[in-house]
Amino acid sequence: MRKVLGRLGTDAGMNTAEYAVGTLAAVAFAGILLAVVQSDPIRAALQAVVERALG
């Protein structure tokens, strides 16, 4: 019994289900970020920052 409990307590990595949930969360966050960055006010603000930096 000690060996089983010892092995359960040393699990430092993620299993397949955790990878799947983490990947879905990352994709959802990337989609939201992409939608925000592609909006007209944000695009204009980013373009102004780049033009100021290069000009």
Mean pLDDT, consecutive 10-residue segments, the chain of 55 residues?
Answer: 57 76 95 92 92 93
| Residues with Cβ within 8 Å of residue 43, at least 6 apart in sequence | 37
Burial class (CB in 10 A: 0-12, 13-18, 19+), 5: exposed
pTM for the whole thing?
Answer: 0.55
Amino acid 35: pLDDT:
92
